[in-house]
Amino acid sequence: MMEYWIRRALEVVKTPFLLFDLSVVEKKYLEMKAALKKADIYYAVKANSHPRIISLLARLGSNFDVASKGEIEKLLALGVDGKRMSFGNTIKREEDIAFAYKNGIRLFAVDSEMEVEKVAINAPGSFVFVRVETDGADADWPLSRKFGTNPEHALQLLSYASKMKLIPAGLSFHVGSQNLNPESWKKAIEIAGRVFKKAMRSGLNLFLLNVGGGFPVQHTKPIPSMEEIGKAIEEAIDENLWFVHNLKVIAEPGRYMVGEAGWLVTKVLLKSERSGEKWVYIDAGVFHGLAETIQNFEYEIRVLGKEREELEEYHLAGPTCDSVDVIYDRIFLPKSITLNDLVCFINAGAYTVEYNTRFNGIEPPKMVFIEELTEISIEEKIKTRVLD
Amino acid sequence: MMEYWIRRALEVVKTPFLLFDLSVVEKKYLEMKAALKKADIYYAVKANSHPRIISLLARLGSNFDVASKGEIEKLLALGVDGKRMSFGNTIKREEDIAFAYKNGIRLFAVDSEMEVEKVAINAPGSFVFVRVETDGADADWPLSRKFGTNPEHALQLLSYASKMKLIPAGLSFHVGSQNLNPESWKKAIEIAGRVFKKAMRSGLNLFLLNVGGGFPVQHTKPIPSMEEIGKAIEEAIDENLWFVHNLKVIAEPGRYMVGEAGWLVTKVLLKSERSGEKWVYIDAGVFHGLAETIQNFEYEIRVLGKEREELEEYHLAGPTCDSVDVIYDRIFLPKSITLNDLVCFINAGAYTVEYNTRFNGIEPPKMVFIEELTEISIEEKIKTRVLD
C-alpha cells in the first residue's frame, strides 16, 4: 500500500521525503488510550512537530510535552491551550519559563536545585515534578546519564520546591527511548512508590506519576505490544501506589506515536566498488534525516521492486562531502541495486525530519502526507473535468 | 578584543551566536596566497556558506569548491560566475550536474565509473579529476573511507573519462580535515606524481593537481604554519611533477579560511550536581552548532571573566532533551561557573552553523558580524545626533 503512495508522491515531489500516514497516528493514540486507561497522554512534540500531527492529536484530546519556547509558540498558533502542555525539559531558558507561565503552562520538570529556583522565580506557584534516573537497560537509546537524579535527591528537591512556594506534584522517569522490556517500567514504578511513601511521611502529598516515553516502534527486533506494556504499568501502579489518593498518571509517547506512520523515501545517487568494497550512496544521510543511525539505530530497509532479490554486503552512505555521513557500515542490499532505485526506511516517522540540517547546501527531506496526495488527486480530478 | 565585541553583540542579540570577524578571513586568504604561490584557491563553501563570507572571498579573487545545487544557486545569486566553481562532491545528483553545466561549471570530481557516466551525460566535454584516497593519518577528521580510490583505479577512471568524451584533467586528494603534519601533503603528491607519469605513458596528459583541504586551525594542539605547509607542498610538486607542462594547482581550504574568524558564544542555562557528578548545561549543543564534538573535536573554551579561576571537572551538555546532546564528558571549567555565564568556543567559524538543526524547537546560533555591529553603532550615533 505504501508503495502505491510513494509512486503517487513522486508525481509531485522529489526524493528525499518522509511519506506520512496520519491515520496511523490516530490508531496509535487510540491503542495507547485503551492500554493505559488511567493515564493522560502528553505527546512529546520533539519526535515530530509537524502542524498536521499536532492538530490531529489536539483534536483527539491529547496533551503535549514541550521542550522549548519554539515548540510552545507552534502549539499556541495551532490553538492548543497552555493548560494542555507540560514543560518537560529539565534545562530551560529562564525567558522560556516566563513565556510558558504567561501562556498558562503550570507543569514543569526539574532535576536540580537551580532549575527549581528558575521555575520558582519565573513561574511562581506552579506544579513541578522531579525526574528520577533509571539505568536505561533494555533501551536502544538510554537517556539516563544526562537527566534525572537519585531517589534521595529527588525527595530533597521536592521539599525544596515546597519551600520555594511551588507545588511538589510528583515524579517522572524515562526508561530510555525504544525500550523493549515492560519490566523496565515496573522497576521504575517500584522506585517511585518508595519515594511517594517517604514523601508522605515527611508531609508531602505527591499525586503525579509521569511514566515518560520509551514505548517502542517496530524495527528489526521483536517488540512487546502496547497492551503488554500498559498491563505492566497498571499492575505496578496498583501494587506500588495504591495508597495515593487521586493519582494522576501521565505518559509522554513520542517515537511510539509517529514512528510507524512514516517511511523515509530516498534515491540511489551512486553505486561504486573501490578497493574491493561496495558502496551505495543515497540522497539522504545522517545530516538529512538519518541522524539516529550514527548511534547504530537499525531501520528496516526496503529497495522498491527488489524485495525478493539476492542480497550482498554494502556500505551505505549519504550525499555530503563528510566522512561522518555514513549510514551503515555493513548492510545487506539487493545485488542489482543501482542508480535511481528507491531505498525506503520503514517506520521512520520519529526523530528524522526534526534532525534536518541543510549541510552542504542539500535540501533535507520534506514531509508528504498521504492525505495531501488525496487532496491533490481531487483537485486534479476537478481540473480534468473542467478541461474535458 | 573579542570580549568587547561580545558585549556589543549582546546589546542586539541573544545567545547562542557565532561572532564573526571578516578581516580574519581576508588575512587567512592572503596568507595562503603567499604560501601557495602556484595554487588557485577554491574555498570549500560547505565550511561556512554565509553570503558575507562568499562575497568577501569573491572580491579577493577566490574561486569556490561547491557540493550541491543549493550552494551553486547561493553563489550565482551573489554574482559569482560558474567558471569560478569546481563541483567537488563525488556523489552528485544528476539534475545538479546538469544545472551546474548550464551555469558554466566545467570542472567535476569523480571517484567511480558511475560518476564518470553521470558527468559525461549531464555535462558533456567537461574536465574531470579523480579523487585518490589517502590514509588520513595525522588528521583529526580523516576523510578517506568514504571518498577516493586507489591509484590504479584512478588511472582506469581517467581513461574511461576520456572514452566518454570528457577531458581527464588530473587528480585530487584530501589528507583529512585538520591535518597537523605537512608530510601528509608530500606523501600524497608523491603518489600523484607516479600516477601522472603512468598516465603520460598511456597517452593521457594530465595537468591538474588538486591538493584539497585539511589545512589546520589553532585549537588545543600546536599546528604547523601555512608557510610550512606551503613549502612542503611546493617542494613536493617541484620534485614529483616537474615534468608536467603548465601544471594547474588547486587548493580547497574550508576550515582554514573561516575557523579562526569566529567564536561561538553560549550561555549557561543550568549547573547541577547529581550523584557526585557535576554538570553544566549551555544553550547550544551538538544539534545547535557543536556537532563536531560528537567525534571528540576539541575546542579551546573560555568562560568570560573567569579565565584565571581554579578549574574543576564537569560534564558539559547542550539544551535538548536528548542524551546524545553531550558536548564533552570530561572538561575542566572554572569552579564558580554558574547561571548566565558566557561560555565561548574559540575558533569555531567553520562547520558549526552549517550543521544547525532546529531540534526541540530550539533556535540555533545565528551569525553576528563585527562589521555589522560597527554599522549599528554608526546608525545609533546618527540617531543620537538627530535627537540631541
Task: Quote the pLDDT of residue B388.
Answer: 38
Q: What is the pLDDT of residues A303-320, one digit of tens each?
A: 999 999 999 999 999 999
Pairing of strands B208-210, A366-369: unpaired
Task: Quote the pLDDT of residue A387.
Answer: 42
A339 vs B contacts (CB less than 8 Å): 114, 118
The 8-class DSSP code of residue B261 comes to G
Q: What is the pLDDT of residues B327-364, one digit of tens each?
A: 999 999 999 999 999 999 999 999 999 999 999 999 99
Asked if residues A265 and A55 have their Cβ atoms less than 8 Å apart, the reply is: no
B358 vs A contacts (CB less than 8 Å): 70, 354, 356
Cβ contact B68–A357 (<8 Å): no
> Domains of chain A by range and CATH?
23-253 (3.20.20.10), 260-372 (2.40.37.10)
Query: How many whole angstroms separate alpha carbon A146 and alpha carbon A137?
Result: 15
ipTM of this model? 0.93
**Which residues 6+ apart lie within 8 Å of B221 measured at CB?**
B180, B298
Q: What is the mean pLDDT of residues B113-119?
A: 98
Of B324, B364, B140, nearest to A286 by C-alpha is: B324
Chain A: give the shortest CA distance to residue B360, in Å: 5
Asked if residues B315 and B277 have their Cβ atoms less than 8 Å apart, the reply is: yes
Query: How many whole angstroms separate alpha carbon A254 and alpha carbon A256?
Result: 5
Query: Hey, is the C-beta of B102 within 8 angstroms of any chain A C-beta?
Result: no
Q: What is the mean pLDDT of residues A192-216?
A: 96
Which 3-state string (H, E, C) describes A77-119? HCCCCHHHEEECCCCCCHHHHHHHHHCCCCEEEECCHHHHHHH
Spot the catalytic one: A321, A378, A386, A387: A321
Select the residue of A44, A91, A142 nearest B281 (Cβ to Cβ): A91
pLDDT band at B57 (very low <50, low <70, confident <90, very high): very high
Q: What is the mean pLDDT of residues B303-316?
A: 97
pLDDT at A219 over 90: no
Task: Quote the pLDDT of residue B219.
Answer: 85
Q: What is the pLDDT of residues B87-110, one digit of tens each?
A: 999 999 999 999 999 999 999 999
Q: What is the mean pLDDT of residues B33-52?
A: 97
Cβ contact A274–B149 (<8 Å): yes
> Is B344 a known active-site residue?
no
Asked if residues B203 and B164 have their Cβ atoms less than 8 Å apart, the reply is: no
The 8-class DSSP code of residue B305 comes to T
A358 vs B contacts (CB less than 8 Å): 70, 354, 356
B275 vs A contacts (CB less than 8 Å): 133, 149-150, 153
Query: Hey, is the C-beta of B230 within 8 angstroms of any chain A C-beta?
Result: no
Taking CA–CA distances from A271, the nearest residue in chain B reads B114
pLDDT at B144 over 80: no
Of A135, A100, A141, nearest to A118 by C-alpha is: A100
The 8-class DSSP code of residue B259 comes to G
Cβ contact B319–A89 (<8 Å): yes
Query: Hey, is the C-beta of B92 within 8 angstroms of any chain A C-beta?
Result: yes
Taking CA–CA distances from B91, the nearest residue in chain A reads A319
Task: Quote the pLDDT of residue B176.
Answer: 87
pLDDT band at B39 (very low <50, low <70, confident <90, very high): very high
pLDDT at A379 over 80: no
Cβ contact A323–B49 (<8 Å): no
Q: What is the pLDDT of residues A275-303, one digit of tens each?
A: 889 999 999 999 999 999 988 889 999 99
Task: Quote the pLDDT of residue B140.
Answer: 66
